[in-house]
Every structure is written in structure tokens, then in C-alpha cells.
């Protein structure tokens, strides 16, 4: 085996990332990994380091990178406070099943276990496991094993159910030299469904009268999404998408039934309950996709259930399904499209009705003075077809999920970046990452006022690294809206802790070098958005919304009135 020239382990680490096809890493610099930063300088013609303003933002950017590319997003943070700040993005990657590798600085080896400055035991803190924050946590002690650990991290992050890996880097290890060679590009092993299981699935389809496919999760590629569409067409199946995985299936397709998540169309919720067969393809069937475990009741749902998932630990964890298939979702879809359908299917009217329900859900009564339904429809009408949409957590996201029709992944790649973990502050860093990774594509971030200010400092990252085709729409209702909604439902009229005191978001954006405008009425939005798209630099639109307009379906006044009538 030919050895590489001797170089610091920090440089070898950067070379190992380049060998894995990494061209961008996100992070916040720290003295604990100066040798790695020097490695980025040494190889600056092949890989870049994006310095973010807070580790939570950096981890969100790396998580978005993993969603967009299907390969692990890369994040570097310093020890102690850097790692704890980054934990929100690691938790998001775990719950969203996103491949990611986080490198964390560690105190020098001769200082371990003394509670040295900013010391943490990362194996305990990130606690790998099915309810932890990472798939694998390790510490590299030997510089000669750096390429081995990096390759294993990529294998672990990609295989089975994708997820995050954390590698700790002792400061002194990174400065020691090594001649270890880098290892080749990691290509994950892919599990395919067994032929016998496919025969069983076909039999269950033939016995059904009201089937429904719910697709989503990570691990999809363009070919897999196209195969899913052909499978649905062959069998004339209605297809819904799991929570915040709406770009798994083309929302414009005549068999699309809508998204199964927060703010679900009530007609779709009823359809899930009425189905006699659910084919859950690639999704975890978590709390959000199952309506708090009520659309499908555990442990044995009323509907016949086929659950296809890449992770064996997920199958049977909550639901005792009638058929379990461990398979990567794209591989499963490619196998399913080969199943021969009979010439006559008894559920064509069922499928047509599901699509009609979705179309009807796209309409809504007008709201004045600012109508977010019109805003979202205007965004989609004016923005290019390959636009990437991002959001964090909050009631404002309901308008984005309901009124934007996402294209299937096979057309433009990922077009929806949103946290199924429900992490606030995700949307802006994800948008910055998308704009830097794909400068040719338009990126639209929709954020609430509380959500935005959790990571708003990443406006500086977008400016500093030259993001241009990025528009952030900040919906300002002066409230932590989701919390206020629950307060009015449980304690009507007793507001506590959910009011917000906001800056002038447009002025704030201008201070960071962004184009900005304030919008208070529906008629003002279209010209403001058109100008933002043409600005040639990042743009922010500050939308002033009445606090009473709390969701895309109801108001605080209506919620409060209903709660008072119930006697709360």
C-alpha cells in the first residue's frame, strides 16, 4: 500500500473529506481544531470552509446540505459550548434521518477527564441509540486512523436509516503527523425488498378496496421518485406525502392526495382513517405523520399496514404491521413499479376523490388586509420551478405547506427543506446553505418572527459568502403563534410568555447589506416579491400579520370562543 507524504492529521482529515466528494463544510472556527482550519487553507482550491455566526446555524446548514445532496452534510464546531450549540442541528438530522458528520474539537489527550476548559464526554452527551442524537459517536486518538474513522462515519451516516455521526478530535492528535492514505469514496450498501414480500404486497393490493400510499422519509433519489410515480400510475393509487416530505411525489400529479402532517386537510385525515390498506413507504410513521398516533392507532392499526423502511430498528417499533419490508425507499419503489396490476381496479373513484379533496384544500376564503394564501400562491407563480423552499417551526409554515405545490424530486432535486424535528430557527440557515451550495437556484425562506430571530445572525453568512438568489419572507404577528394558539385553547384569554417584541426586520436586513421591504397588505406583496427576485442580492420581506390570523384554517378569536363554550 502506497503511503501519502507525511502531513499533519488535520490536513489528512481535510483530504479524507475531499476523497468523499465534499466541496463545502460549515462551521464556527475554534482553537481546538486549528490544524484542520490550516488544512482547509492548504486545500482551498478543492474545498471551502463556510464560517457561520453560531454553531446552531452551522449545524442546520450542514443538515440542509445532507438533505439536498443525499450525502453527509459536514459541520465543524469547537469543544464544549460549540458542541452544545450544534446539538440542535444534530438532533434535527437524527429525527429527520439526514446523513451528516459533525467534527467536534476536544481537549488535548493529556488533559482528559480533569474537567479541563470546555471538556465534555461526547459519547455520553450525544448518546447514540434509537432515542439519542447520533448513530455513532467516537473520538480519534491515533492520527494514522483518521481516514478509517472518516470512511466509517460516512458509511454509518448513509447506510440503513441515514443520520448524524459525531467524531471528536483531540487538539494534540490533529497536530501530529501521519502518512496514512485516504480511502475511496463511500458508496452505501442498499437493501432491496425480498421477492416473497413483494408477492405478499401485491396480494394485499388485490384484496384492498380503499388503498393509500403515504411516502416520505430520506434516502430518495430522482430515479426512485420517478419509480414511485410509475408504481402509483400502474395501480391508480392515491399518494400522500409524510410530514415535511412533500417533494417526494409531484404535487401537481392527478393522483396526489396531499400531505399528512400538522394542519392536515380534514378530508385527507378522514381518508387515512377510512383506508383499508396503508402502504407507508420510507417514512417513520411518527407523531406528526400519524396525527399524534390517532390516524393509525398503535400498536395494531385498524387499517392493513405495509411498512417499508431502510432501518430495521424502525420496523415494528410502534406499529405491528401486516407486512414489514426492510429496504431503501428508492430501491423499494423500483421494485414496486415492476408489480403487474390487473386491468380493472375497484378504487379509481376513491383515487379521484382524494385528488379532488386536495384541489379543494388549495382554495380558501379571502383574509384582509394581508392574505398569506395569496402570498404563497404568488410566490410559486413568480418563482422559478426549481426554487428551494425552506422553513423552521411555527404556525406560519401551515400556509407554505398548504398552498405551495412541490415538484417531485425527479424534476429538480429537493425543493423542500424543513425540520420534521420541529426545530425553530432552521429555515434561514437552511436557505443560506442552499443558496451557497446551488447559486444557480432561487431559494425562498418563510419564517415566523420568533423563528427568524433564533438564527437571524446568519444573514451575515449569506452576505459574506456571496449568496444572491435568496429571499427570506418574515411573517411578523408579534407572537409565538403556536404557543399562543394552545394557550387560547387551554386557557382562553390568559396570555403569558407568548408575546414578542420585534425589531424592524427590514431595517435589520438592510444593516446586513440585504435588499428589504415591508409589506402590510396583499396588494403590496407581488411588486415587493418581484423586486426582491430581481435584486441581485439577498432580500428580506417583512410581512405584518394580525395576531388573530393564527393558522390557515382558523383565528385566535374562534379558538378562544370555542374554548369558552366548552367551559375552560
Assess whether pLDDT exceeds 60 at residue 335.
yes
pLDDT of residue 119: 64
Question: Could you read off the pLDDT of 160-209 as tens digits, one per residue?
Answer: 999 999 999 999 999 999 999 999 999 999 999 999 999 999 999 999 99
d(CA 275, CA 273) in angstroms, rounded, equals 6
Mean pLDDT of the residues in the chain: 94
Question: Could you read off the pLDDT of 432-444 as tens digits, one per residue?
Answer: 999 999 999 999 9
pLDDT of residue 130: 67
Q: Spell out the SS3 assignment of 227-273.
A: HHHHHHHHHCCCEEEECCCHHHCCCCCCCEEEEECCCCCHHHHHHHH
pLDDT of residue 116: 66
- Is residue 306 within 8 A of residue 278, CB to CB? The reply is yes
Assess whether pLDDT exceeds 90 at residue 554.
no
pLDDT of residue 563: 79
pLDDT of residue 27: 98
Q: Give residue 504's region: left, alpha or beta (phi > 0; psi -120 to 50).
A: beta
What would the mean pLDDT of 455-461 be, rounded to a whole number? 98
Question: Could you read off the pLDDT of 112-147 as tens digits, one per residue?
Answer: 777 766 767 888 888 877 677 999 999 999 999 999
Phi, psi (rounded to 5 degrees) for 253: -70, 140
d(CA 384, CA 445) in angstroms, rounded, equals 14
What would the mean pLDDT of 479-505 be, rounded to a whole number? 90
Which residue, 462, 287, 460, 342, is CA-closest to 390?
Answer: 462
Assess whether pLDDT exceeds 70 at residue 211.
yes
pLDDT of residue 124: 81
pLDDT of residue 481: 87
For residue 146, give the C-alpha cell: 483518521
In the block, which residue shows the cell 445572525? Answer: 457
Question: Could you read off the pLDDT of 275-321 as tens digits, one per residue?
Answer: 999 999 999 999 999 999 999 999 999 999 999 999 999 999 999 99
Question: Could you read off the pLDDT of 17-59 as tens digits, one per residue?
Answer: 999 999 999 999 999 999 999 999 999 999 999 999 999 999 9
Residue of higher predicted confidence among 82 and 2: 82
Assess whether pLDDT exceeds 50 at residue 1.
no
Question: Could you read off the pLDDT of 212-225 as tens digits, one per residue?
Answer: 999 999 999 999 99
- The band of 568, judged by pLDDT with boundaries at 50, 70 and 90, is low
d(CA 451, CA 480) in angstroms, rounded, equals 8
Global model pTM greater than 0.75: yes
Amino acid at each position: 500500500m502506497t503511503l501519502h507524504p507525511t502531513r499533519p492529521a488535520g490536513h489528512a482529515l481535510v483530504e479524507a473529506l475531499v476523497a468523499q466528494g465534499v466541496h463545502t463544510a460549515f462551521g464556527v472556527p475554534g482553537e481546538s481544531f486549528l490544524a484542520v482550519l490550516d488544512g482547509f487553507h492548504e486545500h482551498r482550491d478543492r474545498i471551502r470552509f463556510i464560517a457561520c455566526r453560531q454553531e446552531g446555524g452551522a449545524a442546520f446548514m450542514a443538515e440542509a446540505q445532507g438533505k439536498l445532496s443525499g450525502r453527509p452534510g459536514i459541520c465543524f464546531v469547537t469543544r464544549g459550548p460549540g458542541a452544545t450549540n450544534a446539538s440542535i442541528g444534530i438532533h434535527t438530522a437524527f429525527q429527520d434521518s439526514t446523513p451528516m458528520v459533525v467534527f467536534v474539537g476536544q481537549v488535548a489527550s493529556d488533559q482528559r477527564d480533569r474537567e479541563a476548559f470546555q471538556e465534555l464526554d461526547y459519547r455520553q452527551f450525544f448518546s447514540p441509540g434509537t432515542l439519542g442524537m447520533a448513530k455513532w459517536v467516537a473520538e480519534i486518538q491515533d492520527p494514522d486512523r483518521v481516514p478509517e474513522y472518516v470512511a466509517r462515519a460516512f458509511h454509518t451516516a448513509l447506510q440503513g436509516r441515514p443520520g448524524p455521526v459525531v467524531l471528536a478530535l483531540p487538539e494534540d492528535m490533529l497536530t501530529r503527523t501521519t502518512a496514512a492514505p485516504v480511502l475511496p469514496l463511500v458508496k452505501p450498501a442498499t437493501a432491496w425488498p425480498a421477492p416473497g414480500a413483494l408477492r405478499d404486497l401485491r396480494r394485499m393490493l388485490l384484496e384492498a378496496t380503499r388503498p393509500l400510499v403515504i411516502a416520505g422519509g430520506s434516502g430518495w433519489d430522482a430515479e426512485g421518485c420517478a419509480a414511485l410515480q410509475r408504481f402509483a400510475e400502474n395501480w391508480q393509487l392515491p399518494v400522500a406525502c409524510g410530514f415535511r416530505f412533500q417533494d417526494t411525489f409531484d404535487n401537481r400529479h392527478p393522483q396526489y392526495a396531499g400531505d399528512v402532517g400538522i394542519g392536515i386537510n380534514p378530508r385527507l385525515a378522514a381518508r387515512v382513517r377510512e383506508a383499508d390498506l396503508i402502504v407507508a413507504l420510507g417514512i417513520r410513521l411518527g407523531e406528526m405523520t400519524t396525527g399524534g398516533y390517532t390516524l393509525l392507532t398503535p400498536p395494531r392499526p385498524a387499517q392493513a399496514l405495509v411498512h417499508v423502511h431502510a432501518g430495521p430498528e424502525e420496523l415494528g417499533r410502534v406499529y405491528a404491521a401486516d407486512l414489514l419490508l426492510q429496504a431503501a425507499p428508492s430501491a423499494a419503489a423500483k421494485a414496486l413499479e415492476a408489480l403487474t396490476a390487473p386491468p380493472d381496479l375497484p378504487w379509481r373513484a376513491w383515487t379521484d376523490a382524494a385528488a379532488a379533496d386536495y384541489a379543494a384544500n388549495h382554495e380558501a376564503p379571502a383574509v384582509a388586509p394581508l392574505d398569506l394564501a395569496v402570498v404563497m400562491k404568488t410566490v410559486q407563480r413568480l418563482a422559478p420551478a426549481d426554487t428551494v423552499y425552506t422553513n423552521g417551526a411555527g404556525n406560519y409554515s401551515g400556509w407554505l405547506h398548504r398552498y405551495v405545490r412541490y415538484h417531485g424530486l425527479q424534476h429538480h432535486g429537493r425543493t423542500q427543506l424543513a425540520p420534521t424535528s420541529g426545530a425553530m430557527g432552521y429555515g434561514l440557515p437552511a436557505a443560506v446553505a442552499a443558496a451557497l451550495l446551488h447559486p444557480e437556484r432561487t431559494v425562498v425562506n418563510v419564517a415566523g418572527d420568533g423563528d427568524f430571530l433564533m438564527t437571524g445572525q446568519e444573514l451575515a453568512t449569506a452576505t459574506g459568502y456571496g449568496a444572491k438568489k435568496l429571499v427570506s419572507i418574515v411573517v411578523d404577528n408579534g407572537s409565538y403563534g403556536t404557543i399562543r394558539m394552545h394557550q387560547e385553547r387551554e386557557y382562553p384569554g390568559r396570555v403569558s410568555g407568548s408575546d414578542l417584541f420585534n425589531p424592524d426586520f427590514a431595517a435589520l436586513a438592510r444593516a446586513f447589506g440585504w435588499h428589504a421591504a415591508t409589506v402590510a397588505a396583499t396588494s403590496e406583496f407581488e411588486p415587493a416579491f418581484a423586486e426582491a427576485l430581481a435584486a441581485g442580492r439577498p432580500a428580506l420581506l417583512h410581512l405584518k400579520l394580525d395576531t388573530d390570523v393564527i393558522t390557515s384554517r382558523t383565528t385566535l378569536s374562534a379558538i378562544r370562543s370555542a374554548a369558552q363554550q366548552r367551559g375552560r
